[in-house]
Amino acid sequence: MTKNPLLGALDPNEFDNNIRPQDDLYRFVNGKWIEACQIPADKSADGSFYVLTENSEKQVRAIIEDCVEGKIAGELAGKVAALYGSFMDEAQVEADSAPSLERLFAPLRTAKTKGDLRDLWAKTWKMGTYDGFFSMGIDIDLNNPDCYINYFSQDGIGLPERAYFLEEKHREVLQAYREHVGRMFSLSGFMSSESQSQAAGNTVVDFETEIARLHWDNVKTRDTDATNNPMTWAELAANLPVFDLDAWRAASRLPEKMFTQVNVGMPDFFAGMDQLWAETDFETLRLWMTWQALNGQVSLLSNALVQANFEFYGKRLAGREVIRDRWKRGVSLASSVMGEALGQLYVARHFPPDSKEKMSRLVDNLIAAYRESISSLEWMGSETRAKALEKLSLFTPKIGYPDKWRNYEKLDVSAPTLVEKVASASQFGTDFWIDKLGGPVDHTIWHMTPQTVNAYYNPTDNEIVFPAGILQPPFFDPQADDAVNYGSIGAVIGHEIGHGFDDQGAKFDGHGKVENWWTETDLKEFEKRTRALIAQYDQYVPRGLPEEFHVNGALTIGENIGDLGGLDIAWKAYLLALKDQGINDPADAPVIEGYTGAQRFFYSWALSWQNKTRVEAAKQLIAIDPHSPAEFRCNGVVANLDLFAKTFGLKPGDDLWIEPESRVRIW
């Protein structure tokens, strides 16, 4: 049977009729696919996002190869070809690996004091050659969004989060990490024997464990108030008298404007690291910095090192069976360095202008629906409501691609080796942001490339951004019925708008400044509702994982608020679209292939989250990802919606039934 194009990516033949949507909407729509899905060997998961990402990857590869073959001319195409070609020249990469390692290790071997290590890190900061225990990044000042500021944050560990070092459930992974670090010391030739290498690995991991004890966990690090600590350079340096941050600054030779005023994410971490630096012997610090440097460059080195790195980070941590093809890794590298150059060509080939026009109408309807919803919220007072509506009116949507493309004229990839090319590219990327510091805020900047299959909200710009990569089926289909599009891309739009009003976004005003625009009564009610949502998600355990790997409701609360508000408001926006067609009652919306508008809307939502994840990756995501697992992004949201209960006739005893008074509604 020919599938009806009005259903977009929905295929009723794929629905699992052994499962009731009242019990599990996610598996009713996706169950057959999940059962049949064989996750590709080079992936940790598969599903809607991954299919689109792979398609985008192939399209970008074709563009890059046209640059390599001279079909696309010009200086920019030449730079793309030089970087990609260097990565793809395996024989040359192998030949350059040992000399590159020697250049990397030589300053570490000759260092004699802790000060030497500190200065080595500082001198190469722009290129990212040697890492330390903090990171810096320039971005819009969240206390004064008309200018930029230098942000300081915790760093220094080689596992995704402090919990891996400190919690019993990650004990086996930590042991595997110890063995991995030792193996890499051996393979790289830094140590002359296996026993020395493993001893060095243990030393490094023991030290990183102490750093991890000082790290803030990933719930606390998303607390905007706690991590917003503007201070003078002198105030920050006072936290690190033994390390001597002033000496680090002098050695870095970075411009003075980077250090006049700073914002420090975790002040007590810096004070704690100063004490740890003082207590730790030189040799331990030297081994740790060696590991940091090696781990940062390994993807550019010999196949033996790359494969060993994959065995831990790819296979042990993420469950992948084989490493990604070299061309895929080359595309990722080229995209990370010249993403907008490739994006400009990608848009010309793959993003029709009418998609942008239709998407703009969807965004307009979502904003209008949010306006209606906020205007009628029963729990919010008039003073807060006025501020919320003002913020909504100041939202800036960005669709498809930037209005101004990034300039790569100063990018130099002429160095002889791949490692040197990437170091030069890193310096170019750092200089881009340093040049912004002290000048007016550039609101044309995008933080994702057009070919990216994702979307984001940026609170300091109060903008919602939808790259071209996500504007295709199953998320967006210009030929599909409105109910299908509003249940997928409409909910994505609503989700991103919702971030402007989640537990983090609600602390920013419409101009991107951290400011409390809530009355005390309304803020308490908002926090009460978010606590209820946190409690719901804390109960969820992904199928196939032990009970201890339950969802962290506090970590995922921002995304859960975005999902809940996004889907609820997407339905209201769909109603506006129906009214534009002269349909005032959703019951009068067309029935397509036997499905009502509301059914199509929810089925499309479920299809958006189609996903199958390897157990190892699922465990990692539970620990670090602020997004809930796909099944709960689908089911956890609809269970709170009266519309879902009405559409599918839910009643007590159904698995997705929540008593009406216990359902959470925020926006």
Give yes or no: residues 536 and 656 share one domain. Answer: yes
Q: Is residue 157 included in any domain, yes or no?
A: yes
Give yes or no: residues 251 and 285 share one domain. Answer: yes
Last residue of a domain, one of 392, 422, 440: 440
Tokens of 474: 């199953």
Tokens of 156: 């220094």
Give yes or no: residues 355 and 477 share one domain. Answer: yes
Tokens of 335: 């995209």
Q: Distance between CA atoms of 108 and 116, rounded to whole angstroms?
A: 9
Query: Is 634 or 2 the better-scoring residue by pLDDT?
Result: 634
Give yes or no: residues 199 and 149 share one domain. Answer: yes
Reported as a single tens digit per residue, the pLDDT across 648-657 is 999 999 999 9
Tokens of 208: 């990183």
Q: Is residue 21 included in any domain, yes or no?
A: no
Reported as a single tens digit per residue, the pLDDT across 162-217 is 999 999 999 999 999 999 999 999 999 999 899 999 999 999 999 999 999 999 99
Reported as a single tens digit per residue, the pLDDT across 237-260 is 999 999 999 999 999 999 999 999
Tokens of 413: 């990839």
| pLDDT of res. 7 | 95
What does each C-alpha distance from 660 to 642, 648, 664 come to in angstroms? 8, 15, 9
Report the CATH number that the domain containing residue 552 is assigned in CATH: 3.40.390.10
| pLDDT of res. 2 | 65
> Is 281 strand, coil or helix?
coil
Give yes or no: residues 460 and 362 share one domain. Answer: yes
Give yes or no: residues 227 and 295 share one domain. Answer: yes
Matching residue, tokens 């599918």: 648
Q: Beginning with the edge strand found earlier in the chain, give each strand of the sheet holding 463-467 in spatial order.
A: 396-400, 463-467, 456-458
pLDDT reading at 433 higher than 90: yes
The residues near 69 (Cβ < 8 Å, ≥ 6 apart) are none
Q: Distance between CA atoms of 161 and 623, rounded to whole angstroms?
A: 7
What band does 3 get if pLDDT is binned at 50, 70 and 90? confident
Q: Is residue 15 included in any domain, yes or no?
A: no
The residues near 385 (Cβ < 8 Å, ≥ 6 apart) are 374, 375, 377
By CB neighbour count within 10 A (0-12 exposed, 13-18 middle, 19+ buried), where does 70 fall?
A: exposed
Report the CATH number that the domain containing residue 212 is assigned in CATH: 1.10.1380.10
Q: Mean per-residue pLDDT for 517-531?
A: 97
Q: What is the CA radius of gyration of the chain?
A: 26
Indicate the number of domains in the chain: 3
Give yes or no: residues 369 and 338 share one domain. Answer: no
Give yes or no: residues 274 and 420 share one domain. Answer: no
Q: Distance between CA atoms of 564 and 664, rounded to whole angstroms?
A: 9
Q: Is residue 35 included in any domain, yes or no?
A: no
| pLDDT of res. 67 | 98
Tokens of 124: 């190469």
| Contact of 113 with 277, CB cutoff 8 Å | no
Q: Is residue 75 included in any domain, yes or no?
A: yes
Residue 342 Cα to chain centre, angstroms: 20
Q: Distance between CA atoms of 465 and 446, rounded to whole angstroms?
A: 8
| pLDDT of res. 54 | 96
Q: Is residue 5 included in any domain, yes or no?
A: no
Residue type (1 letter), 434: I
| Contact of 593 with 7, CB cutoff 8 Å | yes
Cβ neighbours, 10 Å, residue 62: 12
> Is 508 strand, coil or helix?
strand
| Contact of 376 with 310, CB cutoff 8 Å | no
DSSP characters over 52-72: HHHHHHHHHHHHHHHHHTTSS
Query: What torsion do the CA atoms of 342, 47, 362, 398 make, to the nearest 10 degrees?
Result: -30
| Contact of 641 with 593, CB cutoff 8 Å | no
Reported as a single tens digit per residue, the pLDDT across 593-635 is 999 999 999 999 999 999 999 999 999 999 999 999 999 999 9
| Contact of 419 with 297, CB cutoff 8 Å | yes
The model scores a pTM over 0.85 = yes
Q: Mean per-residue pLDDT for 566-592?
A: 97
Reported as a single tens digit per residue, the pLDDT across 357-388 is 999 999 999 999 999 999 999 999 999 999 99
Q: Is residue 11 included in any domain, yes or no?
A: no
Cβ neighbours, 10 Å, residue 439: 10
| pLDDT of res. 462 | 97
Long-range contacts of 647-653 (CB under 8 A, 24+ apart): 647/596, 647/598, 647/599, 647/602, 648/21, 648/22, 648/25, 648/599, 648/602, 649/22, 650/22, 651/22
Cβ neighbours, 10 Å, residue 20: 16
Kindly report the length of the chain: 667
What band does 339 get if pLDDT is binned at 50, 70 and 90? very high
Give yes or no: residues 359 and 345 share one domain. Answer: no
Tokens of 374: 């906020």
* Domain assignment of residue 129, given as a range: 112-319
What does each C-alpha distance from 247 to 232, 283, 331 come to in angstroms? 16, 20, 39
Nearest to 59 by CA among 391, 485, 351: 351
Reported as a single tens digit per residue, the pLDDT across 383-426 is 999 999 999 999 999 999 999 999 999 999 999 999 999 999 99
Average pLDDT, the chain: 97
Give yes or no: residues 128 and 184 share one domain. Answer: yes
Q: Distance between CA atoms of 177 and 167, rounded to whole angstroms?
A: 14
DSSP single-letter state for residue 488: I
What band does 121 get if pLDDT is binned at 50, 70 and 90? very high
| pLDDT of res. 69 | 98
Q: Is residue 17 included in any domain, yes or no?
A: no
| Reduced 3-state DSSP string for 135-178 | EEEEEEECCEEEEEEEEEEECCCCCCCCHHHHCHHHHHHHHHHH
The answer to whether the peptide bond before residue 5 is cis (omega within 30 degrees of 0) is no
Give yes or no: residues 589 and 461 share one domain. Answer: yes
Nearest to 569 by CA among 486, 463, 644, 452: 486
Buried b (16+ CB within 10 A) or exposed e, 204-232: bbebbbbbbebbbbbeebbeeeebebbbe
| pLDDT of res. 129 | 96
pLDDT reading at 1 higher than 70: no
Last residue of a domain, one of 299, 319, 339: 319
Give yes or no: residues 309 and 360 share one domain. Answer: no
Tokens of 182: 């030792």
